[in-house]
């Protein structure tokens, strides 16, 4: 198990070095290390560290799908109820903001995963926010 985690540490170091090199070279569209590091951190329970990386990748790409993914991102585990409520507030605020914008997702099937899946684990009535998300996806994916 220790070997397994050490490799993640090495990967994180390599991604951060790639980010630094891309910034030093002025590569304004070099989004891959941001997205890949964000995905790795998210999968390892570090959503708070992953979100700014997804936001940066979305800005670099001008990609509404990545913006939406970042907005819907939720951790798997929370420190306490206050942490969960803070993430919920960020989530709902982000969804409301994006719902007002004209976002386009020409290939919704290319979006990685369903980050809002973990919303159901909060034990709250999320029907309104889920309907808003569904409307947003329908509108964003319409030709």
Alpha-carbon distance of 90 to 76, in angstroms, equals: 15
Is the confidence at residue 2, as pLDDT, over 80? Answer: no
Question: For the chain, what are the domain ranges?
Answer: 1-62, 63-143
Identify the residue with better confidence: 53 or 5.
53
Return mean pLDDT, the chain.
89
Residue with tokens 């790409």: 61
Sign of CA pseudo-dihedral 113, 36, 87, 9: positive
Alpha-carbon distance of 94 to 22, in angstroms, equals: 28
pLDDT of residue 4: 61
The residue among 31, 65, 82 whose CA lies nearest residue 137 is: 65
Q: Residue 3 to residues 10, 16, 41, 44, 91: CA-CA distances in angstroms?
A: 11, 20, 17, 15, 35
Is the confidence at residue 35, as pLDDT, over 90? Answer: yes
Is the confidence at residue 113, as pLDDT, over 80? Answer: no
pLDDT of residue 1: 46
Is the confidence at residue 115, as pLDDT, over 80? Answer: no
Residue 99 CA from chain centroid, whole number: 16
Share of the chain above pLDDT 70, in %: 94
pLDDT of residue 5: 61
Task: Report the predicted TM-score, pTM, of the whole model to 2 decimal places.
Answer: 0.85
Region 128-142: mean pLDDT is 89
Buried/exposed code over 124-136 (b: 16+ C-beta within 10 A; e: otherwise)? eebeebeebbeeb
Q: Residue 131 to residues 94, 105, 134, 136: CA-CA distances in angstroms?
A: 14, 18, 5, 8
Is the confidence at residue 74, as pLDDT, over 90? Answer: yes
């Amino acid at each position: 198990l220790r070997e397994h985690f050490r490799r993640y540490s090495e990967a994180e170091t390599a991604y951060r070095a790639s980010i630094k090199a891309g910034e030093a070279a002025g590569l304004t569209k070099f989004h891959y290390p941001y997205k890949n590091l964000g995905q790795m951190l998210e999968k390892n329970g570090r959503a708070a560290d992953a979100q700014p990386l997804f936001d940066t990748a979305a800005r670099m790409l001008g990609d509404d799908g990545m913006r939406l993914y970042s907005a819907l991102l939720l951790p798997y585990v929370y420190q306490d109820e206050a942490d969960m409520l803070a993430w919920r507030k960020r989530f709902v605020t982000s969804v409301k903001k994006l719902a007002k914008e004209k976002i386009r997702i020409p290939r919704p099937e290319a979006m990685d995963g369903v980050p809002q899946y973990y919303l159901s684990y909060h034990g709250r009535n999320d029907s309104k926010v889920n309907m808003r998300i569904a409307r947003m996806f329908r509108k964003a994916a319409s030709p």
